[in-house]
Amino acid sequence: MKIDVFQDTVCPWCRVGQAHLFKALEQFQQEPVEVRYHAFLLDATTPPEGRPMSTLVERLGGQARVDEMHARVCQIGEACGVDFQFEKIDHIPNTIRSHELIKLAPADLQEAVVQELHDAYFSRGEDIGDIKVLLEVARCVGLDTQVVQNGLLHEEKRAEVLEDLQFARDAGISGVPFFIFEGKYALSGAQPVEVFVQVLEQIAVGNVLE
């Protein structure tokens, strides 16, 4: 079974949704599963250098509102074993290069890259738009940092990232995480583990409403 995951590397609900998906996959034994990652930008207007977190606070209606949202994410994240340290985040990066890094990795290491990007941003508050941070992520998962650096500087995977973004627009994907199973069954949002299990099992036996 193939699962295509559209996500942004600074999206907390993407981290939760992917954690739920992989917990569901631990319970799903009917057939092998291939997870493929695709780029989505929560804010396509973010400049290359990123912007201060304060701009998001203003956009979302003030610090109290943001704190409330973060508290909810932290509660759900704790329940599924993922860590959020929002107080360490003072910068919103442009995530294009982080998506390029995912695509520079071989398929069997892409999940590790995504996890390390999430750890860098959500747990350590690092700027994952900074090439030095991305090279450290690459090193941590065992990638050749010289190859990665060349790939990022020469934008070797930029066309693939832009292709993902265009596909999302054409498909009407307006929010993430967004999951596509077997190229035709869609599931939106950070659904509970049991929902993912149900969807996986229904698809495996062909019992899905078109």
Instruction: Look over the chain and give the mean of its residue pLDDT values, rounded to a whole number.
Output: 96
Return the pLDDT at 209.
55
Confidence band (pLDDT; 50, 70, 90) for 96? Answer: very high
Give the residue carrying structure tokens 């959500």: 122
In angstroms, rounded to a whole number, what is the distance separating the alpha carbons of residues 18 and 73? 14
Return the pLDDT at 189.
97
C-beta pairs of 134-137 under 8 Å, 24+ apart in sequence: 134/97, 134/98, 134/101, 137/101, 137/113
* Averaged pLDDT, 152-178: 98
Tell me the whole-structure pTM to 2 decimals.
0.95
Indicate if the pLDDT at residue 118 is higher than 80.
Answer: yes
The one-letter amino acid at 48: P
Residues 6+ apart with CB under 8 A from 129: 48, 49, 50, 93, 94, 95, 96, 97, 98
Name the 3-class secondary structure at 24.
helix
